[in-house]
Amino acid sequence: MDRLERISNRLPRFYKHWEQDSLVFTLLKAVIKQLDEAEERITDMMKAHWVDTSVGDELDKLGDLLGLSRLTEENDAPYRARLKRAVTEYEGGGTVSTILAAVKALIRAQSEEDVQIIENPPTSAYADFMVRAGDTWTLGSNSIEDTQPKLTITVEETGGVSNPQIMNVDTGESITFEGKLKSGQKLVITKKKALIDEKDLSQKVVPQTVPRLLRKGSTWKYSESLEKLVGLFDTAKFDEHTFAVKIPAVRIRFDWTRLQPATFEVRIKSKALEGSGYSVSYLENVVNSMKAAGVNAIINISG
């Protein structure tokens, strides 16, 4: 029963409200039209305040209230999904679990493997220094933890070095190769072995533990046997020190795996991304809008 019929049934029959050419029927129809239009405007106004039903500029205004602007080329559907997650995101404070759940919902992930988040993802790092006996330098792991690096020592100039030693001055840890390293030779020291031109000389490395590369950084020093023999002005002894000796330069390289601080990696299966219809740049914008300030986010699409 429509509104016109419900109102008509409440009128006395002598008004003959059912006759469509009567004045009463015309008046009722005009009133009903105004009521219907008012109800439609009220409904539209209510829908404009609901994320599920608002569109276009109305959705943008709701986004302004939450501090979430529409991204470039973002249409209503994904923008609406982001707004609906806004409250959860604020409650979660941009935590890993919140971001993981949001990305899964956005691309409609079908399994746990479709989206994964790796906190402090590992990455390769290195540093090299050209030094001579007695030189020092500062180096840290730039990681969330201390680590033992791989060391590579190469004599860059003509000549050789005897018993090269690398020391972490701050910890007192050191490692020495008890032997001579010739020009062009490369000594590679890892946690398990020491090699010169693929020849295992681990027994000549003392101790067989690489000094730790500290998270906070520390001072390192390179020395060799020749250093003790080189005469210094006003302190050397004529019969104990060597003068005018060229000290060859040595290249020392550190290689290690660092766990990136204040960083997380979002790994997404390529098939899951293709099925969602979203681009990598769009996902980057979404994740960056959710993460905490000062935190680095990496998007990695894998097979």
Candidate from 2-11, 35-44, 294-303 with smallest mean pLDDT: 35-44
Indicate whether 44 pLDDT > 80.
Answer: no
Candidate from 29-33, 60-64, 132-136 with smallest mean pLDDT: 60-64
Does residue 190 sit in the same domain as residue 254?
A: yes
Indicate whether 43 pLDDT > 80.
Answer: no
Does residue 127 sit in the same domain as residue 249?
A: yes
Q: pTM for the full model?
A: 0.64
pLDDT at 30: 85
Does residue 127 sit in the same domain as residue 240?
A: yes
pLDDT at 227: 47
Contact 57, 44 (CB under 8 A): no
Contact 212, 168 (CB under 8 A): yes
Q: What is the largest CA-CA distance in the chain?
A: 140
Indicate whether 20 pLDDT > 60.
Answer: yes
Does residue 160 sit in the same domain as residue 35?
A: no
Does residue 112 sit in the same domain as residue 223?
A: no
**CA–CA separation, 157 vs 170, rounded Å?**
29
Query: Residue 107 is part of which domain span?
Result: 56-120+262-302
103: which residues sit within 8 A by CB, 6+ positions away? 109, 115, 266, 268, 283, 286, 287
Does residue 148 sit in the same domain as residue 181?
A: yes
pLDDT at 265: 95
Does residue 248 sit in the same domain as residue 134?
A: yes
User: What letter represents residue 58's amino acid?
Assistant: E
Does residue 63 sit in the same domain as residue 156?
A: no
User: What letter represents residue 156's amino acid?
Assistant: E
Does residue 176 sit in the same domain as residue 74?
A: no
- The per-residue pLDDT for range 208-250, each reduced to its tens digit, is 889 999 999 999 999 988 544 454 445 545 455 454 456 789 9
CB atoms within 10 A of CB 56: 11
Average pLDDT in the chain = 82
Phi-psi label, residue 95: left if phi above 0, alpha if psi -120 to 50, beta otherwise: beta
**CA–CA separation, 51 vs 64, rounded Å?**
12
Contact 161, 250 (CB under 8 A): yes
The CATH number of residue 150's host domain is 2.60.120.860
Q: Bigger pLDDT: 19 or 123?
A: 123
- The per-residue pLDDT for range 74-125, each reduced to its tens digit, is 888 777 777 766 655 555 456 788 788 888 888 888 888 999 999 999 999 9
Can you give the C-alpha Rg of the chain in angstroms? 37
- The per-residue pLDDT for range 231-241, each reduced to its tens digit, is 444 554 545 54
Does residue 138 sit in the same domain as residue 217?
A: yes
- The per-residue pLDDT for range 121-144, each reduced to its tens digit, is 999 999 999 999 999 999 999 999
CA dihedral for 77, 80, 82, 85, sign (positive or negative): negative
Is it true that the peptide bond before 207 is cis, omega within 30 degrees of 0?
yes
Q: Work out the average pLDDT over 54-76.
A: 77
Q: Bigger pLDDT: 61 or 209?
A: 209
**CA–CA separation, 303 vs 272, rounded Å?**
10
pLDDT at 269: 92
Confidence of residue 279 (pLDDT cuts 50, 70, 90): confident
Contact 70, 79 (CB under 8 A): yes
Does residue 72 sit in the same domain as residue 168?
A: no
Contact 300, 266 (CB under 8 A): yes
**CA–CA separation, 252 vs 273, rounded Å?**
43
Token pair 């004599």 is found at: 155
**CA–CA separation, 65 vs 60, rounded Å?**
9
pLDDT at 228: 47
Does residue 233 sit in the same domain as residue 155?
A: yes
Q: How many domains does one find in the chain?
A: 3
How far is the CA of 179 from the CAs of 93, 131, 195, 273, in angstroms?
Answer: 57, 19, 13, 56
Output the CA angle 68-71-76, nearest 5 degrees: 85
User: What letter represents residue 153's amino acid?
Assistant: I
Indicate whether 47 pLDDT > 60.
Answer: no
Q: Residue 235 phi/psi, 5° resolution?
A: -130, -15
